[in-house]
Homo-oligomer: A and B are copies of this chain.
Amino acid sequence: MFLPIETTGVIMQSYNEIVKVFCHIGNEKDMKQFMREVLTESELDALVFRWRLMKDLYHGETQRSIANKYHISLCKITRGSKILKNKDSISLKLLKKQETDT
């Protein structure tokens, strides 16, 4: 996105707001619907797929194995890989949490 500079403040406010909104949606049904409303189908698919990739990486699958499994290129996997390598990664924490919860 490329928005005129003068709108930056407003957009930043919207950014904080939508984070807040996401935080206060209590139940899964509403969350699911909200995500369908504010994300395009391809964005949602991409998001879900990215989560799937991170899980596979987290479970120790090699990048090439994942690439073959989903018929995608390696470069697509690097992103998720980088995120999980970051020590402060929230995604990593959430994956760990999910593991212990189930």
Q: Which residues of A contact B (CB under 8 A)?
A: 1-5, 7, 10-11, 14-23, 25-28, 30-35, 37-52, 54-55, 69-71, 83, 89-91, 94, 98
Contacts and interface: CB of A to CB of B under 8 A. Distances in A.
B22 A22 contact: yes
Contact of A37 (B4, B23, B28, B89): B89
A55 B21 contact: no
A25 to B, nearest CB: 7
A84 to B, nearest CB: 9
Contact of A20 (B1, B19, B28, B33): B28
A12 B30 CA distance: 17
B90 A48 contact: no
